[in-house]
Amino acid sequence: MTGTLIAPFRPLEGAPATGDIPTATRIRREKQAAIVEIRGDVTLYSSPNVRKVILKTLDDHAVQRVIVNFNSVKFLDSSGLASLVECLLYSRKSHQRLSLCGLRDGPRRVLELTRLIDVFEVFDDMETALSALPHGPQPIPYSR
């Protein structure tokens, strides 16, 4: 692991363990981005806390880009998807970039079926996501 660790992996409050790994997050900073790493499923139980962590990262770390690493996430339900969309709207409103990387088959299929794969900035892996700094697409301003 490279970069500066901001917060170690922490189990999310109220999120029951689903599958082999309990849902937890870790935040680190690398280059010009804050990286939120998620372990476990993003479901009805864990999505409010995942949302809270991503929004807090957008607020607290004075970075122009937040990358959410899904490498250890096997399952994403509609509640998790709604939380990601809310975070994306917030990032656009605040003129920041929100990127997803390391999507496994399950979460990728959910994004493809809902056609949100084209709305999010998605990278195959962390290395590719970080190499997009600082030249990747700029945030699309949010307007109502």
Q: What is the CATH number of domain 4-129?
A: 3.30.750.24
Q: In the numeric block, which tokens belong to residue 27?
A: 């935040």
Domain ranges of the chain: 4-129
- Cis peptide upstream of residue 134 (ω within 30 degrees of 0): yes
Closest by CA position to 83, among listed 57, 39, 50, 111:
50
**pLDDT computed for residue 119 by the predictor:** 96
Helix 78-93 and helix 47-60, axial crossing angle in degrees, nearest 10: 10
**pLDDT computed for residue 137 by the predictor:** 47
Read off the pLDDT of residues 40-63 as tens digits, 9 standing for 90 and up.
999 999 999 999 999 999 997 678
**pLDDT computed for residue 47 by the predictor:** 93
Read off the pLDDT of residues 17-39 as tens digits, 9 standing for 90 and up.
444 444 788 999 987 899 999 99
Say if residue 15's pLDDT is above 50: no
Read off the pLDDT of residues 87-110 as tens digits, 9 standing for 90 and up.
999 999 999 999 999 999 999 999
